[in-house]
Amino acid sequence: QKYPAPIPTGQNMSLLISGVQDVNATDNAQIVAIDEFGNVVGAAIFDSDGRSGIAIWGDDVTTDVKEGLLEYEEFELRLVDYEGGTESNLRVSSVASGNGLVYLPDGMTVLDLYVEESIPDEYYLNSNFPNPFNSTTKISFGILEDGIVNISVYNVSGRLIQTLMDDEMSAGHHQIAWEADGLPAGLYMLKIQAGSFTTQQKAILVK
């Protein structure tokens, strides 16, 4: 689910991210700043080189509603990949200037981040994106335990067309690409098997 946009209040601090380690995200991923109650207090498109600038919004004290952060209030950052269907916590690896993930009105913080390893609550296979697709699509999935993961493509008759993956994978959220060049347009089934878990999704190839 897409996070709502933050509320510009006129009170903010500048957060400059100089790099993000261990990241794997699509071009339309977003870095979202969230307070302890889950309210969005800042957001920016994630740059593929890991550098981003975010305005972290403070509270407008002239209203009865808390729209942003109070001075010295802490916040957290998340990397939300809407196309890939994943969300990861971002942690601070080093602070070049400022006080880290702490709001200071008119302040500036420069830091490096890394993606925290996360384990999904359950096994899953998301619908591929885009879908329908022309030649290339991305498939995201999550597994609870390390083990062999098999992802295969079948036609509507149930015949195996292609094995996309049959490898040992670590527990967590993952994404692979399916290059369907040379296959005829039509309906295909993507099937995942990981331990005792198995499920499938429909994929439509167009030309």
Give residue-wise pLDDT tens across range 180-191: 988 999 999 999
* E strand intervals along 48-146: 52-57, 76-81, 86-97, 108-115, 124-125, 136-143
pLDDT at residue number 26: 66
Q: Which residue(s) pair with 17 in the sheet? A: 52, 111
Residue 157, pLDDT above cutoff 90: yes
Select from 110, 112, 96, 90 the least CA-distant residue to 14: 110
Residue 133 in this model has a pLDDT that exceeds 80: yes
- What digits encode the pLDDT tens for the residues 57-105? 999 989 999 999 999 999 999 988 877 667 888 999 999 999 999 999 9
In angstroms, the CA 86 to CA 165 distance is 19
pTM tops 0.75: no
Q: What is the pLDDT of residues 109-123, one digit of tens each?
A: 999 998 877 778 889
- Predicted confidence (pLDDT) per residue in 5-43, tens digit: 999 999 999 999 998 886 766 667 899 999 988 899 999
Q: Which residue has the higher pLDDT, 166 or 47?
A: 166
Identify the pLDDT of residue 37. 87
Which two structure tokens, joined as six digits, stand for 89? 């916590």
